[in-house]
Amino acid sequence: MTQTQMAPDFTLEDTRGNPITLSHRRDHLVVLVFASQATQEASREATRTLGLKLLHDARVDLWTIVSVPKMFKMMAMGMLKDVQNKAVESARRRFEKEGTAAPGDLEQRIFILPDWGGNLVERYGFDPKAKHVHVAVVGTDGTVLERLSSPDGEKAGSAAAEAALKALK
């Protein structure tokens, strides 16, 4: 980005029913991955890549914002809860595989957040109809440090991780 832009603040409910507000995490760098049914595989690859490169640092949160039509709310919530639990457990297994202890706060740093109606992706300047995974890196000061959009999840995840690591130095 060529100019500093404040990240649009938002509050979404996590899969346990708790409100999660971006501005309440100003002490953390927050990486937002915007996902939809059309970008499911690329989004999964982006979050996996980001998790491998960033979750070692306790100052980083990884939030996946899933656009879900409101009419599917009841059906989707159960699936998203399952995805949330699997994401945290997968991160724990990766730490164990590396021979390091998993951070005890992963449940407070990894979120699958449903965006009923899918309006948040547009507020971050992304085209919701594009068949791309969209990633935004939000700094501890609330500014958008990087915005990426790609059909390749690993590529988007790697580029976002580089931007995040640079900001953490």
Structural domains present in the chain: 11-168 (3.40.30.10)
Write down the pLDDT at residue 131.
Answer: 92
Write down the pLDDT at residue 33.
Answer: 98
Average pLDDT over residues 155-159: 96
pLDDT digits (tens, 9 = 90+) for 108-121: 999 999 998 889 99
**Half-sphere exposure at residue 109, Cβ-oriented, CA atoms within 13 angstroms:** 23
> Cα separation of 21 and 30, whole Å?
11
Residue 35, both tokens = 């996902």
Q: Is the dihedral of CA 18, 24, 25, 27 positive or negative?
A: negative
pLDDT digits (tens, 9 = 90+) for 16-73: 889 999 999 999 999 999 998 889 999 999 999 999 999 989 999 999 999 987 777 7
pTM attached to this predicted model: 0.91
**Half-sphere exposure at residue 34, Cβ-oriented, CA atoms within 13 angstroms:** 29
